[in-house]
Amino acid sequence: MELRHLRYFVAVAEEGHVTRAAERLGMQQPPLSQQIRALEREVGVQLFRRKPRGMEMTAAGRAFLEDARAILTHVDHAFAATRRTARGEQGRIAVGFTSSAPFHPFVPRVIRLFRDGFPLVSMAFEESGTTELVDALRNEKLDAAFIRSGAPQSSGLAVHHLLDEEMLAALPAAHPLARSASKPLTLAALSDEAFILYRRPVGPGLYDAIISACREAGFSPIVGQEAPRILSTLNLVAAGLGISIVPASLTRMQMDGVVYRRLKSDRKFVAPLSLAVRWSEPSASVRRFVDLARATAKTFRAERP
């Protein structure tokens, strides 16, 4: 039993006439007659009554016609869906991001654009620290992740740098350095402060960037507290336990008791935002997502140099 039997059966059922059905199928009547017979023998049921002027379906034939049509339609739909999947227009993508990434208007913008462009691709989201995201990528639990690392030393992953975000000092509102609103601070001015930093094993990217920048400014920062999430960091600053250095997009978070200050340094002090994916054979949907993110980043950077 093959699909051609179903195609032949449907044609004869719809025409009610073997010769006309054969024309429609582009073949001769006798073999079509024989194929219908073969089908009846295989099902073990008489599907048609032969009349002097055509064929009339039995009740069993009518029941089979419904199924035959549905099956042939399903085959067409299966082909189409498979092609859409291959083109990245359909499928599933699991995206992760660090806790600071969603504050940046870029990330929601990429997600919106992707959803608008590929409505048949279902998206799942996960928020975690960088280390966990990298593991999840490796384990194929996630397909892509927005992270704050410039270039983690992770084999099997491709990290696409998207953009850099200015880093600001986050100070307690009552801090003396919080008063001069218009003058950027030097890092050196913070050398005696207790720093509240994002926990390194969770977010190595930001941690390392801050340490490195302070080293370059001539001091090793006093780490007073480590916080498990970016929001905990700001909470501790608001409580007056110390200062921190955070990506500028965190200012979108109206946090009482925290004042943000720009930083002046010899080299632009920025936090990178990158998209990490596995090197090994990304699906077409993932490739589409990466391409869109990179194109959007390019546009974003052009809009605000």
Residues that bind a second copy (CB under 8 A): 1-4, 43-47, 49, 58-61, 63-64, 67-68, 70-71, 74-75, 77-79, 81-83, 85-86, 90-92, 281, 283-285
In the complex with DNA, which residue's Cβ is closer, 34 or 122? 34
Angle between helices 3-15 and 18-25 (to 10 degrees): 130
Least distance from C-beta 41 to a second copy, angstroms? 12
- Identify the residue whose tokens are 């978070």: 253
In the complex with a second copy, which residue's Cβ is closer, 45 or 194? 45
Piece of the chain touching DNA by CB under 7 A; list 17-25, 76-84, 121-129, 282-290:
17-25
- Identify the residue whose tokens are 């921190």: 244
103 neighbors 297 (Cβ within 8 angstroms): no
Task: Name which position in 6, 10, 13, 36 contacts DNA (CB under 7 A).
Answer: 36
User: In the chain, which residue ranges form alpha helices assigned H by DSSP?
Assistant: 3-15, 18-25, 29-43, 59-86, 106-117, 130-138, 204-216, 230-238, 284-303
Contact between 24 and DNA by CB under 7 A: the answer reads no
Residue type, 135: D
Task: Name which position in 6, 18, 157, 162 contacts DNA (CB under 7 A).
Answer: 18
197 neighbors 185 (Cβ within 8 angstroms): no
Task: Name which position in 4, 62, 87, 264 contacts DNA (CB under 7 A).
Answer: 4
Least distance from C-beta 140 to a second copy, angstroms? 11
C-alpha 235/C-alpha 172 separation (Å) is 10
User: In 152-226, which residue ranges form alpha helices assigned H by DSSP?
Assistant: 204-216
In the complex with DNA, which residue's Cβ is closer, 17 or 69? 17
- 41-80 residues in contact with DNA (CB under 7 A) are 50-55
- Given a second copy, DNA, none, residue 34, with its beta carbon under 5 to 8 Å by kind, binds DNA
- Given DNA, a second copy, none, residue 82, with its beta carbon under 5 to 8 Å by kind, binds a second copy
- Per-residue DSSP letter, 184: P
In the complex with DNA, which residue's Cβ is closer, 20 or 138? 20
Buried b or exposed e, range 141-168, using 16+ CB within 10 angstroms? ebbbbbbbbbebebeebebeebbbbebb
In Å, how far are 1, 63, 168, 294, 299 from 269, measured between CA atoms?
Answer: 69, 73, 9, 22, 22
In the complex with a second copy, which residue's Cβ is closer, 80 or 188? 80
144 neighbors 160 (Cβ within 8 angstroms): no
Contact between 17 and DNA by CB under 7 A: the answer reads yes
Task: Name which position in 3, 14, 28, 125 contacts DNA (CB under 7 A).
Answer: 28
In the complex with DNA, which residue's Cβ is closer, 46 or 180? 46
18 neighbors 55 (Cβ within 8 angstroms): yes
Contact between 33 and DNA by CB under 7 A: the answer reads yes
Least distance from C-beta 36 to a second copy, angstroms? 14
Least distance from C-beta 30 to DNA, angstroms? 3
Contact between 235 and DNA by CB under 7 A: the answer reads no
- Given DNA, a second copy, none, residue 47, with its beta carbon under 5 to 8 Å by kind, binds a second copy
In the complex with a second copy, which residue's Cβ is closer, 81 or 255? 81
In the complex with a second copy, which residue's Cβ is closer, 74 or 179? 74
In Å, how far are 100, 187, 207, 281 from 268, measured between CA atoms?
Answer: 20, 12, 16, 36
